[in-house]
């Protein structure tokens, strides 16, 4: 079959050579950059130096988020952006094997104690237009061994806000005020919850979702995304 229909790179659609890189060509494979320690122990941003302790970045020290930890697999560079956009805006499920390959090398030990997995929701109008929620697809890849724990409709977006792309930190916060609520019958009381999204930019979206979940009685929210955008940090790790 590979002779008749040679495998194509999930990013650039170029032909891959053999099976050495799975779903990606050599050029695109070299563009993937995983986040590496040392991290802020809360938001997971890379720090220049952590010494011998597990620090907090300046932002988490000044404005502690409602979640306990946030972790991302990769930096949101060009290759990862193309993968996410194919899934997010074109509903191209052909990229799923490639995403599974990237996620497969990520250690999930910090999420072993999770009771429920929820996803950042889309408004129903946007969901109909796109055809899928990319966060739900990623949740099933991250937690393929815990599918019954994934609750894709326990968190709802009740306002069809403008996209966050292009908004600064303050505008993002104003844009998402009062946007999320729980579905009737959802029960987070006393539970540890993982919140899954595609990209961590300023953290505004996952903070708003985490607030709603914590207000419902959850004892902890952990955030997991496939990628993270590089944005300036307010203050050094301490």
pLDDT tens track for 33-87 = 999 988 899 999 998 765 656 689 999 999 999 999 999 999 999 999 999 999 9
Contact present, 44 and 68 (Cβ < 8 Å): no
pTM: 0.89
Phi-psi region of 17 (alpha: psi -120 to 50; beta: other; left: phi over 0): beta
Q: What is the pLDDT of residue 17?
A: 66
Q: Is the pLDDT of residue 108 over 90?
A: yes
Q: Is the pLDDT of residue 9 over 70?
A: yes
What is the 8-class DSSP label of residue 156?
E
Q: What is the mean pLDDT of the chain?
A: 88
**Token pair of 157, please?**
């977006």
Q: Which residues of 156-170 are buried (b: 16+ CB within 10 A; e: fewer)?
A: bbeeebeeeeebeee
Which residue, chain included where needed, has tokens 């509903």? Answer: 91
Q: What is the pLDDT of residue 91?
A: 94
Q: What is the pLDDT of residue 121?
A: 95
Instruction: Pick the closest to residue 161 from 126, 195, 137 (CA basis).
Output: 126
Instruction: Pick the closest to residue 110 from 44, 174, 18 (CA basis).
Output: 44
Q: What is the pLDDT of residue 93?
A: 94
Q: What is the pLDDT of residue 217?
A: 97
Q: Is the pLDDT of residue 6 over 80?
A: no
Q: Is the pLDDT of residue 149 over 90?
A: yes
From the CB of residue 109, how many other CB atoms can be counted at a distance below 10 Å? Answer: 6
pLDDT digits (tens, 9 = 90+) for 160-180: 775 656 555 566 556 566 789
Identity of the highest mean pLDDT range in 74-83, 154-163, 223-232: 74-83
pLDDT digits (tens, 9 = 90+) for 178-190: 789 999 999 999 9
DSSP code string of 92-119: -GGGHHHHHHHHHTS--GGGTT-SEEEE
Q: What is the pLDDT of residue 193?
A: 98
């Amino acid at each position: 079959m590979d002779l008749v229909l040679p495998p194509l790179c999930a990013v650039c659609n170029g032909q891959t050579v053999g099976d050495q890189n799975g779903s990606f060509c050599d050029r695109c494979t070299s563009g993937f950059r995983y986040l590496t320690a040392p991290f802020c122990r809360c938001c997971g941003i890379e720090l220049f130096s952590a010494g011998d302790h597990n620090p907090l970045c300046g932002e988490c020290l000044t404005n502690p988020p409602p979640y306990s930890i946030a972790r991302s697999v990769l930096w949101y560079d060009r290759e990862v952006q193309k993968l996410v956009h194919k899934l997010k805006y074109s509903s191209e499920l052909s990229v799923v094997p490639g995403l599974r390959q990237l996620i497969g090398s990520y250690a999930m030990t910090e999420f072993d104690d999770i009771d429920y997995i929820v996803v950042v929701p889309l408004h129903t109008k946007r969901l109909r237009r796109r055809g899928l929620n990319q966060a739900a697809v990623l949740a099933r890849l991250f937690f393929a061994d815990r599918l019954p724990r994934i609750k894709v409709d326990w968190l709802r977006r009740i306002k069809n806000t403008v996209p966050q792309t292009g908004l600064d930190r303050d505008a993002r916060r104003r844009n998402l005020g009062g946007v999320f609520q729980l579905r009737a019958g959802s029960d987070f009381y006393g539970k540890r919850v993982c919140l899954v999204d595609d990209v961590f930019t300023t953290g505004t979206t996952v903070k708003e979702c985490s607030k709603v979940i914590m207000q419902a009685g959850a004892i902890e929210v952990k955030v997991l995304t496939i990628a993270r955008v590089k944005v300036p940090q307010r203050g050094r790790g301490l």
